[in-house]
Amino acid sequence: MEPQTTPAVDSVITRLARVATTRGPQDLHERLANLDRFVRADLIDFEAELALIPRGARVVQQAAHHLLDLSGKHLRPVCVALASRFGAGFDARARGLAVAVELVHTATLLHDDVVDVADKRRGKPTACTVYGNAASIFAGDWLLVAALRRIGAVEPELVEPMLAVIDEMILAESIQLERRGVLVETAELRRGYFEVVEGKTAALFRWAMMAGAKAAGLSRAQTAALERYGFHLGVAFQAVDDELDFAKDDHATGKDPLADLREGKVTYPLVVALEHEPALRPRIAALLASDEPDAVELHAIARIVRSSGALKATRELAEEHVRGALGVLEELPVGPAREALVTVALASLERAS
Amino acid sequence: MEPQTTPAVDSVITRLARVATTRGPQDLHERLANLDRFVRADLIDFEAELALIPRGARVVQQAAHHLLDLSGKHLRPVCVALASRFGAGFDARARGLAVAVELVHTATLLHDDVVDVADKRRGKPTACTVYGNAASIFAGDWLLVAALRRIGAVEPELVEPMLAVIDEMILAESIQLERRGVLVETAELRRGYFEVVEGKTAALFRWAMMAGAKAAGLSRAQTAALERYGFHLGVAFQAVDDELDFAKDDHATGKDPLADLREGKVTYPLVVALEHEPALRPRIAALLASDEPDAVELHAIARIVRSSGALKATRELAEEHVRGALGVLEELPVGPAREALVTVALASLERAS
């Protein structure tokens, strides 16, 4: 079992880091190799179960599988698996919950891509481009239903918490929608940013950790600690996402660069840039309000944001939440599961896509 | 309690008949007055509970309430109420399920209007016209989640059957989507039509009857009979809907006339017209394939469909299912609840919108 030659090892490493990082902690490679050994079998089991989602002849099923087949990082299922490893382990119940969380995540991406009129996702054409908006909307609905049925089958008392998470996600989407193209006052921008991140990203990570913990029969205190870990990981993850959108002008992330800015979304770097350089406000307001932003102005503003110190502040936000995540882990027993979560938190800072 | 002066009476009568019908059974008016007396209090309770759905400041909530406030016929909640009256009655649990079924119905209309690019619903601009497609998509999601949470709170074992119904609805939508603008072979058209009607319309009526029966603690046999009633009522209801789309050139239904035909949907009158007059096929194929159908040709084809005997056949389909519904009721105890369901079935043939 040479780690570097088997696909599963490669996949875990690349999913969490995607880079031979030069800026990460000295031991991250070794940590990732350990993490891989620890979750490899779980991830294989998870992927085998995910592959069983019925394909069917219907266009909604094809649209759903279009995105499921462009396999993502599977980070939320890894969260379920790792939480479960503090207790009974990644058994059939935990596996069902891991599949469910990935289906919910995929459903939200399908709806997001319709709403954002996105062309690319994971380096490939979006489902809405290939199958149309209607099929993508119904495909998202179909996956949500499949996820909820699965949760109901393995752990009925987790259906309501998942519905509460989906509710949070929808209200966060709503805030983002209302804010699109509109530049509110800076303090309000900052508040709205965190509301959106908590609802759109952190809530589902929190559920994933909670689900793994419940399936594995952990105590209430340990479950609560793992939920807090999920929250911090989610915010860190989103902050790095925001940074990546600005960091490069190429397509290394599999999405269009500057997609958030082009879609009129105010992400953390933009909030900070406005705080640092209030004189930018009219230019950014004009850019956000434009349906077809001028490419030259788009890149000019991206350069100003980069030179304003906003990316550094965004990284600091991510680091603050990684520290939060690591702090919470102190409340959990020492061992390979805890070490694995340390690695996931550290690696979240180092990913390139 | 003068029936004709209180709003609730008027609303029940108009909701179910909307007409001083001349073609209905002689006693339909008296039947509707009896029905009204029987469900009036339940309907008031239902509407009071529906009014409690949180309004909130978010645009998704506004889009959802835009349609909820354009109060529909509330026929599915009436089904829950009437089924419950064979047993324990329309108590808090049954009421919660009635609200849930109306929320699911409203959610599907929100998504349908986006997919159909519909301008009008219940005589008013659609939510997607007023609040945009994105807000309408998320508003539908929001209502689905609210419905499922409510079912989970009052009758957790009905969550899975509702998820199964939503799954059927999505697959029916998918068939409709695949068929849009495409004219398959006639036998296939007929088969597809029934798949769509059963999934899109009958399944939710079936659930409504089942939910009322379960909440009221009815026997398995009675519950199964009421489910079959719901199925037949749903098909009859949809057949009348199909007829109404062709029957008039005005806006009496609150939707655009010939909306189905314009959207490239093959409804029952069109299936029958093609069976009766195969020579029509090329013209209908051209119309369905057109993104912006020519108005003159649209109305010309509608006239041919009307004169082909297709509307009569559509009415016969509705009548056949009303007879099916009435036949099933023989299995249930005689009494006011059964009489009320007889009236609902008969009135479904007489509505004008």
Range of the structural domain that residue A13 is part of? 7-348
Residue B102 inside a domain? The answer is yes
**Sequence letter at residue B4:** Q
B46/B120: higher pLDDT: B46
Residue B3 confidence (pLDDT): 37
Q: Does B164 touch chain A (CB under 8 A)?
A: yes
Residue A328 inside a domain? The answer is yes
Give the span between the Cα atoms of A129 and A114, in whole angstroms: 9
- Residues of B with Cβ-Cβ distance to A132 under 8 angstroms: 177
ipTM (interface pTM): 0.86
Residue A25 confidence (pLDDT): 55
Q: Which of A214-228, A325-339, B12-26 has the lowest mean pLDDT?
A: B12-26
- pLDDT band of residue B249 (cuts 50, 70, 90) is low
Residue A23 confidence (pLDDT): 45
B259/B126: higher pLDDT: B126
* pLDDT, tens digit, 9 for 90 and up, residues B66-94: 998 887 889 999 999 999 999 999 999 99
Give the span between the Cα atoms of A326 and B352, in whole angstroms: 65
Q: What is the mean pLDDT of chain A?
A: 88
Cβ partners under 8 Å of residue B338, min gap 6 = B86, B329, B332
Residue B20 confidence (pLDDT): 38
Residue B93 inside a domain? The answer is yes
Tell me: pLDDT of B4 over 50.
no
Give the span between the Cα atoms of A109 and A102, in whole angstroms: 11
Residue A249 confidence (pLDDT): 59
Residue B171 inside a domain? The answer is yes
* pLDDT, tens digit, 9 for 90 and up, residues A11-48: 444 444 443 344 455 588 899 999 999 999 999 999 99
Residue A131 inside a domain? The answer is yes
Give the span between the Cα atoms of B146 and B99, in whole angstroms: 10
Give the span between the Cα atoms of A183 and A189, in whole angstroms: 8
* pLDDT, tens digit, 9 for 90 and up, residues A183-212: 899 999 999 999 999 999 999 999 999 999
Minimum-distance CB partner of B170 among A142, A159, A160: A142
With beta carbons less than 8 A apart as the criterion, state whether A50 and A68 touch. Answer: yes
Tell me: pLDDT of B1 over 60.
no
Residues in a beta bridge with A280: none
Tokens (6 digits) for A95 = 């596996």
Tell me: pLDDT of A279 over 80.
yes
pTM over 0.95: no
Q: What integer is the mean pLDDT of B109-131?
A: 86
Q: What integer is the mean pLDDT of B111-116?
A: 86
With beta carbons less than 8 A apart as the criterion, state whether B205 and B76 touch. Answer: yes
Tokens (6 digits) for B118 = 């519909």
Q: Which of A73-87, B127-141, B249-263, B317-331 has the lowest mean pLDDT?
A: B249-263
- pLDDT band of residue B240 (cuts 50, 70, 90) is very high
With beta carbons less than 8 A apart as the criterion, state whether A78 and A128 touch. Answer: no
Phi, psi of A340 (to 5 degrees): -65, -40
Q: Does B93 touch chain A (CB under 8 A)?
A: no
Tokens (6 digits) for B44 = 């008031």
SS (H, E, C) chain B: CCCCCCHHHHHHHHHHCCCCCCCCCCCHHHHHHHHHHHHHHHHHHHHHHHCCCCCCCCHHHHHHHHHHHCCCCCHHHHHHHHHHCCCCCCCHHHHHHHHHHHHHHHHHHHHHHHHCCCCEECCEECHHHHHCHHHHHHHHHHHHHHHHHHHHHHCHHHHHHHHHHHHHHHHHHHHHHHHCCCCCCHHHHHHHHHHHHHHHHHHHHHHHHHHHHHHCCCCHHHHHHHHHHHHHHHHHHHHHHHHHHHHCCCCCCCCCCCHHHHCCCCCHHHHHHHHHCHHHHHHHHHHHHCCCCCHHHHHHHHHHHHHCCHHHHHHHHHHHHHHHHHHHHCCCCCCHHHHHHHHHHHHHCCCCC
Q: Cβ of B141 and A146 within 8 Å? A: no
Residues in a beta bridge with A121: A124
Residue B250 confidence (pLDDT): 53
Q: Cβ of B160 and A149 within 8 Å? A: yes
Residue A57 confidence (pLDDT): 84
Residue B19 confidence (pLDDT): 36
Provide, rounded to the nearest whole percent, the portion of chain B with pLDDT above 70: 90
Q: Assign residue B254 the CATH number of its domain.
A: 1.10.600.10
Residue B255 confidence (pLDDT): 58
Residues in a beta bridge with B120: B125
- pLDDT band of residue B330 (cuts 50, 70, 90) is very high
Q: Does B226 touch chain A (CB under 8 A)?
A: no
Q: Does A174 touch chain B (CB under 8 A)?
A: yes
Residue A94 inside a domain? The answer is yes
Tell me: pLDDT of A118 over 90.
no
- pLDDT band of residue B247 (cuts 50, 70, 90) is confident
**Of B206, B208, B207, which Cα lies nearest the Cα of B228?**
B206
With beta carbons less than 8 A apart as the criterion, state whether B155 and B211 touch. Answer: yes
Minimum-distance CB partner of B138 among A56, A59, A173: A173
Minimum-distance CB partner of A174 among B138, B156, B173: B138
* pLDDT, tens digit, 9 for 90 and up, residues B5-17: 333 334 444 444 4
Tell me: pLDDT of A236 over 70.
yes
Q: Does B300 touch chain A (CB under 8 A)?
A: no
- pLDDT band of residue A124 (cuts 50, 70, 90) is confident
Residue A138 inside a domain? The answer is yes
- pLDDT band of residue B182 (cuts 50, 70, 90) is confident
SS (H, E, C) chain A: CCCCCCHHHHHHHHHHCCCCCCCCCCCHHHHHHHHHHHHHHHHHHHHHHHCCCCCCCCHHHHHHHHHHHCCCCCHHHHHHHHHHCCCCCCCHHHHHHHHHHHHHHHHHHHHHHHHCCCCEECCEECHHHHHCHHHHHHHHHHHHHHHHHHHHHHCHHHHHHHHHHHHHHHHHHHHHHHHCCCCCCHHHHHHHHHHHHHHHHHHHHHHHHHHHHHHCCCCHHHHHHHHHHHHHHHHHHHHHHHHHHHHCCCCCCCCCCCHHHHCCCCCHHHHHHHHHCHHHHHHHHHHHHCCCCCHHHHHHHHHHHHHCCHHHHHHHHHHHHHHHHHHHHCCCCCCHHHHHHHHHHHHHCCCCC
Minimum-distance CB partner of A159 among B152, B173, B174: B152
Tell me: pLDDT of A89 over 50.
yes
Q: Does A130 touch chain B (CB under 8 A)?
A: no
Tell me: pLDDT of A107 over 60.
yes
Residue B256 confidence (pLDDT): 64
Question: How close does chain B come to A42, measured CA to CA in Å?
Answer: 28
Residue A122 inside a domain? The answer is yes
Total of domains in chain B: 1
A55, A58, A62, A141: which to substitute to probe chain B, counting the most B Cβ within 10 Å? A141
With beta carbons less than 8 A apart as the criterion, state whether B268 and B183 touch. Answer: no
